Amino acid sequence: MTTYPFTRALVTGASSGIGLEIAEQLGAAKVALVVVARREDRLREIERRFPGTEVIVADLTTPEGVKVVVDRISNPHSPEIDLVVNNAGFGTSGHMHRIDPDRLAREIRLNAEALTRVMHAAIASMIPRGIGYVLNVSSVASFQASPGLAVYSATKAYVTSLTEGVAEELRHTGVRVTALCPGLTKTEFQSISNTSGIATEFPDFVWTSVPMVARTGLRAVAEGKTLAVPGLLYKVLVGISTVIPRGASRKITRLITKRA
């Protein structure tokens, strides 16, 4: 059985996809769970599988939902949380001017603002203890602008940059912060973001499995790595993206998203 240096983990967006898999892998490793999502029925299923799991039903696109999570992390009378996984997020495909601006505002609030507030609460509670871990789920889209997913890639660029900056700030505190940057991974993201066509447009070898992505992220944060990119293909692509001209990168991404 895999072991981790965490005793209790809070996972946002734990009802499906990468968040659910992270929760399941932690639960299987006997790490106590605090799971957060909007869909209570799915959280109760995690609780059934891993007795003792704390369930927090919260919509992190709202101030009230964020406050519930922040208060749980900061509560000195509740069991301490030593791993926080910021996984909740969603994307929207299409040309920006054709998308409902209220939806884009919710996307930014969830992917960037809520993540920042939860991360802030986690770090503030961990620094006095001299140990703690934060795993922010970002994306390979954070390394280049993505026409057709412009707001999503911008929010993920924020997440990756924030993680890198804060990781340096915390270098001598004992608190470790990691950005997990997966590539194409089949989850509910495709249906929510209206990119389901991608599944038929790209060959199987470009898709990473949800269990592998979750395992890579957990291993990376436990080891204190700042960035984790699952899969050799995406490691190479991220490396290439740092050396080719940004204009060329934008055009390549535009052609890919246009196909999908």
Active site residues: 152
The identity of residue 142, as a single letter, is S
Listed in sequence order, the residues at least 6 apart from 105 whose beta carbon sits closer than 8 Å to its beta carbon are: none
Cβ contact 213:18 at 8 Å: yes
Cβ contact 118:56 at 8 Å: no
Shortest CA distance to 255 belongs to which of 146, 153, 98? 146
Distance, C-alpha 16 to centroid of its chain:
12
The identity of residue 218, as a single letter, is L
Shortest CA distance to 249 belongs to which of 145, 150, 153, 158? 145
Question: Which residues partner with 135 through β-bridges?
Answer: 85, 178
Question: Which residues partner with 260 through β-bridges?
Answer: none
The identity of residue 92, as a single letter, is T
